[in-house]
Structure 1
Amino acid sequence: MKLPVPLKMATRGYQEAIAALNSLQSNYANIMAIRESGDRKNRMNIWEMQEWSRRIGYNVSEFDKLNVVHITGTKGKGSTAAFVTSILGQYKVPKIGLYTSPHLKSVTERIRINGNPISEDKFAKYFFEVWDRLENTESEVTRFPHMVPGSKPGYFKYLTLLSFHVFMQEGCDCCVYEVGVGGEFDSTNIIERPLACGITQLGIDHTFILGDTIEEIAWNKGGIFKKQTPAFTVKEQPLEGLRMLEKRAEERGTKLEEVSIYRDLRGKKLGISGDFQIINASLAVALSSQALASMYFLPSPVSNAEDAAIPPRFLQGLECTQWEGRCQILVKGSTTWFIDGAHTKESIEAASSWFTQQVSNSQKKKILLFNQQSRDANALLSNLYSKTNPRVQFDEVIFTTNVTWTSGSYSSDLVSMNTSKEQVDNLEVQKSLAEKWITLDGKRSKIHVTSSIEAAHELIKQLGEPVNVFVTGSLHLVGGLFVVFDNM
């Protein structure tokens, strides 16, 4: 699908910025060609980001002013970033930037200041400032022959570049950056001197880019470590992964510290639900305290010992953290929605356990609404089933695409070109999931396949009785559902 790039239009507002941004997506055919070639990300990715930064007016060393807390991992890095941001806010850090991915409803969610997405007007303003600077500058052809005049970074790289520009122009005092994929070659990894680096729980994901083993994945994640920058990880790591992280820290001239689950957090109510969030909250305490001490808001960091006393303002920050689409419960009429965009083995098992705890004693009809379009969807469904069966029996199971509307269109902020249009149109993944569910659960559930999220929502409405709905498998599914909710 060719999207218009509205450079010649008199009005360049938010929708024009989104159309231009969407034009930077890699299409499905290109992605598959790269996969088949066996090519993986390499150091050129970082050199390109440094060059793009120069082209828009920055030396990457200037980004050290942003006092970055850099976070990667397989499971929970977004939640950890949200916890850190909320804790920092309790200490009246004037302007706190937060860069995360993906977004749910609006691209502006990826770039936040003091917890709030930047406005659409500011997004458009800064977006086209970056766009125009790239249009009007060139790269040295012998070093970057592929960066021809007028070329732009891809979708995620562009947004990362934009985030640096926004936070620099807005004068942010501390910024929390969630890595996109991996770490070593991720476009966020041009930061030279972060205040702290953190790695959440590791698992197998993004194997095409990161490798097939936990050691390879840990090697990539450990690439965010920097010389003399304090590095932290959780104790709940696979041993092979932990050993690799320790090796990477030594290579980079720092020491990796393992963070225990703090005793003060046990039994405390956190702003993000789920028993497993205590692990992310503990890592957030370590990262936040290191950052606050580095900026002289605290005399020294909080100890990593299990029995360390957690300052009251840290506890308040953890309690008031908000992060949509992760273990979130919404009640709309007679329907209770249990929503988590889990899309890895570890995260979907955790989300499924959370849902089971919530509803196993409920007499309401139970519905599963599921999609995952690009990863091994059948394997994720098996992981879900292993954690819900036999305590939860789904009465109805709905497999949908991530298409927003029954008309076949997406919300403009949710346009995706990196999946096969033919597969989506023919409901290939959804039909395969339906067959997989029968092998797992027999024919005890009534199975539905829908071509859009709106159609799935309408199907649930038509049941006309109190129901519990578990929505999971993809943050894109969750975002699309929220858009449908907003238009009810």
Structure 2
Amino acid sequence: MRLNWPLRMSANASRTYNDAVSALNSLQSNYANIMAIRASGDRKNQMNIWEMQEWSRRIGYETKDFNKLNIIHITGTKGKGSTAAFTLSLLQQYDDRIHRIGLYTSPHLKSVRERIQINGKPICEEKFSRYFFDVWDKLDNTSSSLEKFPHMTPGSKPGYFKYLTLLSFHVFVQEGCDSCIYEVGVGGEYDSTNIIEAPTACGVSLLGIDHTFMLGDTIEEIAWNKGGIFKNNVPAFSIASQPAAGLKVLQERARERHVELQQVPVFNEVKNLKLGLAGDFQVTNASLAVALASQYLAKLGILPSPLTLEQNLSLPQKFKDGLTTAEWKGRCQTIQEGDIKWLIDGAHTKDSIVAASGWFKSLVQKTQNKKILLFNQQTRDADALITTLRTCLSPSVNFDRVIFTTNVTWRSGEYSADLVSMNTSKEQVDKLEVQNALRETWLQLQPDAQVDVVANIETACDIVKAYEEPIEVFVTGSLHLVGGLLVVFDGKK
């Protein structure tokens, strides 16, 4: 999809949601630029934060203005989105005291509006468009010192994620949100969300190796980046089961900010609940959410004091209700469609593939139904991920068919507008290079396997739906794949 969006539009032009999405897509870094940055070894630095502060000034805010949002700030390699979902559900149980809760998260599945939610619902297209162009026009009509900010030339805009972060602050302030939950994009120290000055609580979910070209190659470097969200005298929490080397660095970073890092155990009562998010591993994320929500509610005077972080903690009934009713699509999600059971998880790191495979195995290993794997991962080490997946499932679960697809949505070669990605190699996608390499790897693992390589998600769905018997389909490897699949289910082009 070729995008040619003018840097300036007439303020009187009639600008729709599709216009906003098209303009937003024009802010994506293209594949060539990303590869150049990786090759240079240039990692995120303090200028990212200074620029975000300046962008905020240009749309009319000082960063201290965001303190009124009472933000809970969450980072981690795996589980930060699930932790945010549990935390949101917990706060929603107190809707008599908390009226408008904002959630900023990424990536989205079907619609970019999912990234900016109020009370658990994406903002509507009309509001997204209005607020989007509020920010766009204010940036067009203001300027920055090129001596201080050489990249902020007239007419320039923040990149895709930074723009959405900026937009989220604008939306939540204008909509009068009195509570917000922010999921970090990448890392923490230099992430665009880290202009938050005074959150109510900070949390770190499981650490692992990911985004190494930006965060570093070791768990210590990654922990240093994640611990960058800690703020002076703001309560900081981490799951207790962190890798030892990472936990040590998190503790050091907390001491730098004059706080003690509180380690959150898996609470016994959480283990005994049927959580709203499937997967045995979710007990860790749910426990972290309990700690964050309890600290937040005490800070606002809704609870008399934070809950004690002891394994045998007795949970208030509202906390139990929040944990059992939490929702987070695309993560250990089951969709029954006639005889087809779609078992969907957007796992895209080694740790998350291990967790998702364990969830899938627990559901299907005793059934006699045929099993299909639908997989794609376009930018990370896909070979390593499918090797891990195969190792986790073998020998008790084998696939009767394996389908490797791109993330292109439709048979026509088009992406759904909200799912356009410019940060992958178009040549690689068109030639199915990754998919063909995955086929060869799988055939080395299982020489007698039936393996298909297809150019789009719609075609992959057609293969699955041609079966006239009960089947179980494991869809994993990428949240982009999961989002595209859900769009195909909707059938809206």
If the TM-score is normalised by the length of the shorter chain, which range does it land in?
Answer: over 0.9
Letter in 1 for 2:305: S
**Structure 1 segment 386-397 matched on structure 2, within 5 A:** 386-397=391-402
2:326 alignment counterpart? 321
2:16 to 4, 13, 17: 13
Q: Offset of 1:464 from its aligned partner? A: 2.3
1:288 alignment counterpart? 293
**Structure 1 segment 376-387 matched on structure 2, within 5 A:** 376-387=381-392
**Structure 1 segment 140-155 matched on structure 2, within 5 A:** 140-155=145-160
- Fraction of identical pairs, as percent: 64
1:366 alignment counterpart? 371
Q: Is 1:60 equivalent to 2:63 in the alignment?
A: yes
**Structure 1 segment 177-326 matched on structure 2, within 5 A:** 177-326=182-331
Q: Distance in 1 between matches of 2:409 and 2:389?
A: 24
Letter in 2 for 1:192: E
Q: Is 1:399 equivalent to 2:418 in the alignment?
A: no
The answer for unaligned runs of 5 or more in structure 2 is none
Q: Distance in 2 between matches of 1:103 and 1:400?
A: 19
Q: Offset of 1:447 from its aligned partner? A: 0.4
Q: Distance in 2 between matches of 1:54 and 1:267?
A: 48
Letter in 2 for 1:10: A
Letter in 1 for 2:4: P
> What is the Cα-based RMSD across aligned positions, in Å?
0.9
2:178 to 173, 176, 179: 173
Q: Is 1:484 equivalent to 2:485 in the alignment?
A: no
Q: Offset of 1:267 from its aligned partner? A: 2.2
Q: Distance in 1 between matches of 2:156 and 2:271?
A: 51
Q: Is 1:131 equivalent to 2:133 in the alignment?
A: no
2:3 alignment counterpart? 3
Q: Distance in 1 between matches of 2:49 and 2:65?
A: 16
Q: Distance in 2 between matches of 1:269 and 1:4?
A: 49
Q: Offset of 1:16 from its aligned partner? A: 0.1
State the SS of the aligned residue for 2:117.
strand
Q: Distance in 2 between matches of 1:116 and 1:141?
A: 39
Q: Offset of 1:2 from its aligned partner? A: 4.2
The answer for unaligned runs of 5 or more in structure 1 is none
Letter in 2 for 1:466: P
CA contact (8 A) 1:471 1:478 kept: yes
Q: Is 1:101 equivalent to 2:109 in the alignment?
A: no
1:339 alignment counterpart? 344
1:86 alignment counterpart? 89
Q: Distance in 2 between matches of 1:281 and 1:38?
A: 36
Q: Offset of 1:384 from its aligned partner? A: 0.8
CA contact (8 A) 1:260 1:282 kept: yes
Q: Could you give the per-residue CA deviations for residues 113-158 of structure 1, whole angstroms, max 9, x where no partner exists?
A: 0000000100000000000000000001210122011110000000
CA contact (8 A) 1:100 1:178 kept: yes
**Structure 1 segment 408-423 matched on structure 2, within 5 A:** 408-423=413-428
Q: Distance in 1 between matches of 2:352 and 2:35?
A: 26
State the SS of the aligned residue for 2:466.
helix
Q: Offset of 1:199 from its aligned partner? A: 0.2
2:479 alignment counterpart? 475
Letter in 2 for 1:320: T
Letter in 2 for 1:46: I
Letter in 2 for 1:468: E
Q: Could you give the per-residue CA deviations for residues 74-100 of structure 1, whole angstroms, max 9, x where no partner exists?
A: 000000000000100001110000000
Letter in 2 for 1:266: K
Q: Distance in 2 between matches of 1:11 and 1:375?
A: 40
TM-score (normalised: structure 2): 0.98
Q: Distance in 2 between matches of 1:71 and 1:485?
A: 31
Q: Offset of 1:463 from its aligned partner? A: 2.1
Aligned length: 487
State the SS of the aligned residue for 2:247.
helix
Q: Offset of 1:5 from its aligned partner? A: 2.1
Q: Is 1:458 equivalent to 2:462 in the alignment?
A: yes
Q: Distance in 2 between matches of 1:208 and 1:391?
A: 36
1:37 alignment counterpart? 40
State the SS of the aligned residue for 1:285.
helix
1:428 alignment counterpart? 433
CA contact (8 A) 1:293 1:301 kept: yes
Q: Could you give the per-residue CA deviations for residues 2-48 of structure 1, whole angstroms, max 9, x where no partner exists?
A: 41326248220100000000000000001101111110000000000
CA contact (8 A) 1:5 1:16 kept: no
Q: Distance in 2 between matches of 1:51 and 1:45?
A: 10
Q: Offset of 1:465 from its aligned partner? A: 1.9
- List 4+ stretches of structure 1 deviating above 6 A: none
Q: Could you give the per-residue CA deviations for residues 150-204 of structure 1, whole angstroms, max 9, x where no partner exists?
A: 1100000000000000000001011000000000000000000000000000000
Q: Offset of 1:442 from its aligned partner? A: 2.3
1:439 to 439, 444, 469: 444
